[in-house]
Chains A and B, each alone.
Chain A
């Protein structure tokens, strides 16, 4: 049973077609890396899955639900952005809490999820700081934390490490891999870095020109 599947996806902006009849299925618990050069349509595909863009044709399934026409908040996804996209006026705690804005959880549950995520990512001492007072790596952790508190089955990553320096990137790579091993969410991860793809993925889809050229395991 695939967790996420794209069926005959077409996406065009005006007369420009980015994706044409694309099919892809990700199994439950897989770490799928979408790999490809800039402009190959991988981020577009991710945004379609998140609901930030609308498909021109085709169907997107998450589990057994057809989410093609659902709003982003109703798709049960979490997303980590390239620029971290932290809310600048909220504290780290506020950022994590806003991640649960759409869910109707009671206070205690919210507190507990934030505490768990903060502990897992070692950002507990930072909870009262604003994003402007954090380093790049710390911001990255908060962004991941905001995705984790939702306890979503599917987490999307849009080139999350490209703003970090080389050393931090290696560290965060391991960390994300470790998170995947412990929590076993389904991950769709977009990058153009082949090393990231080879070290983290359980499945790699190589894209070029809006088409999936290769699909397989890193080995």
Chain B
């Protein structure tokens, strides 16, 4: 009886004073200690390190050349103008072609899709085979891939040029796509293989008894389980293909240069006035597409990284 009344009183108290909930386990109010102030200061400096240049780039791109000549790089534009953006996109010159960055943008898009499809298709199947099927010399092959992941591109650049030239794809979109696929394969294969290693062995065993077909199991069972890791790889690949300069400048012909290469050409022009506003706008235009991808699928990206387990 006493228990019940006690409980009732407690409940009443809680109801009566909703703002003072949980007085039975009082907790100390957290205070910001000296150590965390130091961390905050450090983090702020780190953030400024990235934000200040970004701020300068953004405001400069909206200024007129007249204002830029005044030399106050931190000041806001007197007149906000999109002239530089328009000029960079439509009229800026790369070499003798003055069609602006948009040429490079479309080239980059055209490079992106075949590169993405080739590189992911190649490595997802390899990773699947290595993780879930008995492949002879699988460990030796994995070790080889691991080594390949550490070979700098510059070392194999010249042989790759010869190889792509001899099969006739040098200087074309397909040449760039093939090189992207080959170079991304070691790391992507390891990523897929490690992800698939976590799939319970009994599921693949059941599938082997049920179907036994390599491709059917891949398409019907494994691929639908790969959503998370595909998002991760997709973001990694989109960013690295879009931001790539060296492969594009080496393997791209005159008509197939990606946005980054055109951007570099715009900015390294050595005659006339340096149009800072144009350059800044061009740089921002080039950086925007990967950012958009991050905003669209960033949420899944975090999920994909943290979701290790595939529980039934």
**Complex Cα–Cα for A175 and B140 (A):** 48
Contact A85–B203 (Cβ < 8 Å):
yes
Asked if A102 lies at the interface with its beta carbon under 8 angstroms from chain B, I say yes
Q: Digitize A73-84: 1 where CB-to-B-CB distance is under 8 Å, 0 elsewhere.
A: 110011101111
Contact size class for A?
20 to 34
- Cβ < 8 Å to B, chain A residues 98-117: 98-102
B56 at the interface (CB under 8 A from A): no
Indicate which residue in B205, B213, B216 contacts A85 across the interface (CB closer than 8 Å): B205
B225 x A79 contact (CB < 8 A): no
Q: Are A73 and B212 interface neighbours, CB within 8 A? A: yes
Q: Would you call A71 an interface residue if the criterion is a C-beta within 8 Å of the partner chain's C-beta atoms?
A: yes
Q: Could you say which of B200, B205, B211, B224 contacts A89, with CB atoms under 8 Å apart?
A: B224
Q: Mark B188-227, 1 if CB is under 8 A from A, else 0.
A: 0000000000001011011111111100100011001100
Nearest to A130 among chain B residues (CB) is: B312
Give CA–CA (A72, B213) in the complex, Å.
Answer: 11
Cβ-defined contact, B202 with A81, below 8 A: yes
Q: Are A72 and B209 in contact (CB under 8 A)?
A: yes
Return chain A residues, CB-CB under 8 Å to B206: 79, 81, 85, 87, 146
A73 to B205, CA, bound (A): 11
Say yes or no: is A168 at the interface (Cβ < 8 Å to chain B).
Answer: no
A207 at interface, CB cutoff 8 A? no
Q: Which of A78, A79, A87, A99 contacts B221 (CB 8 A)?
A: A87
Residues of A within 8 A of B200 (CB): 83, 85
Distance in angstroms between the alpha carbons of A78 and B221 in the assembled complex? 18
B207→A84 contact, CB < 8 A: no
Contacts of B297 in A (CB 8 A): none
A55 at the interface (CB under 8 A from B): no
Would B209 and A73 count as touching, CB distance under 8 A?
Answer: yes
Residues from chain B with a CB closer than 8 A to the CB of A72 are: 208-209, 212
Question: Taking the nearest CB of chain B, how far is it from the CB of A71, in angstroms?
Answer: 5
- Whether A203 is near chain B, meaning CB under 8 Å from some CB there, is no
Q: Verify if A139 is at the interface (C-beta below 8 Å from B).
A: yes
Complex CA distance for A57 and B90, rounded to whole angstroms: 74
Is B73 on the interface with A (CB-CB < 8 A)?
Answer: no
Q: A83-B200, A88-B312, A139-B312 are in contact. Are A102 and B207 (CB under 8 A)?
A: no
B312 touches A131 (CB 8 A): yes
| Cβ-defined partner of B212 (8 Å) among A71, A83, A90, A146 | A71
Q: In the complex, what distance in Å separates the CA atom of A141 from the CA atom of B194?
A: 31
List the 6 shortest-distance A-B pairs measured between CB atoms, nearest first: A73-B212, A101-B211, A89-B224, A85-B202, A85-B206, A81-B202
Using a CB–CB cutoff of 8 Å, the interface residues on chain A facing chain B are: 50-52, 71-74, 77-79, 81-90, 98-102, 131-132, 139, 146
Please, could you name 5 A-B residue pairs with CB atoms under 8 Å apart, sorted by A? A50-B209, A81-B206, A86-B312, A98-B211, A101-B220
